[in-house]
A and B are shown apart, each in its own frame.
Chain A
């Protein structure tokens, strides 16, 4: 059973999100289905309390309901969630290292404008793997030719989008990992 309780003000939404987090933490010993059921029941109870409140503002009605529901333990602080911290710092390293590679690709794309005969993706004699280079070497075969700039821009945009997605998930304050890390 799904129970939805909506709030209009950011203050009420913040209080509600904190309540749900604490509720999940309190019910962590239950199975997934029991936890879902307990959460729905608590939400339904809170909705009844809010509906029966005579207070003026939404946040005050919610505060009164929270007081009547009773205190719930807060989840442990971040330092007690090594997995969340690990994900957070792994994302920082991946974004940092990949960002450096993207900067190099961007620099090569710009340099291609000034030195189209030199900058490119080459396969060297006796080699199978293409290599990015600022200067053509003797015997090297250029792979992309005039498609070098569009290909580089496509790679830069695609990888940047991927990094932005990773940032949203693992590093943004509103992302799931950051929310998970918050006490």
Chain B
């Protein structure tokens, strides 16, 4: 019973946590090199917790990132298969990723400091 309750709580919590984490992951993947949606999804699905990612959810985030100027997008026609829309990180995107990672590390430090405290 406790296990089921905990699973439900963790499902809810991890879903919330992933939302905040998602944009940072996308930026990190694109900083490693330009990629099209399917490639980005394939890389993301390798990450723990993202194995069952609904692939269509990546595109609204990429569209928002493009609107925010974090990435640029360009359609490229392919000899075989469908055309691909390649995303590239902008300078703003790269700097935003650095800032996001700093915040993330700081949060991790805070968590470590909290859990390291001895009860009075």
Query: A1 touching B83 by the CB < 8 A rule?
Result: yes
Q: B84 to chain A: which residues have CB within 8 Å?
A: 44
- In the bound assembly, the distance between CA atoms of A40 and B85 in angstroms comes to 9
A87-130 interface bits toward B, Cβ cutoff 8 Å, 1 = contact, 0 = none:
00000000000000000000000000000000000000000000
Query: A69 touching B56 by the CB < 8 A rule?
Result: yes
Q: B82 to chain A: which residues have CB within 8 Å?
A: 3, 5, 43-44, 47-48
**Interface size bracket, B side:** 10 to 19
**Interface size bracket, A side:** 20 to 34
Query: A38 touching B59 by the CB < 8 A rule?
Result: yes
Q: A41 to chain B: which residues have CB within 8 Å?
A: 37, 59, 85
A positions within 8 Å CB-CB of B: 1, 3, 5, 30, 34, 37-38, 40-45, 47-49, 51, 68-72
In the complex, 27 of the A-B residue pairs with CB atoms within 8 angstroms, ordered by the A residue number, are: A1-B75, A1-B85, A3-B83, A5-B82, A30-B63, A34-B63, A38-B59, A38-B63, A40-B75, A41-B59, A42-B56, A44-B38, A44-B83, A44-B84, A44-B85, A45-B37, A45-B41, A45-B56, A47-B81, A47-B82, A48-B81, A49-B38, A49-B55, A68-B55, A69-B55, A69-B56, A70-B56
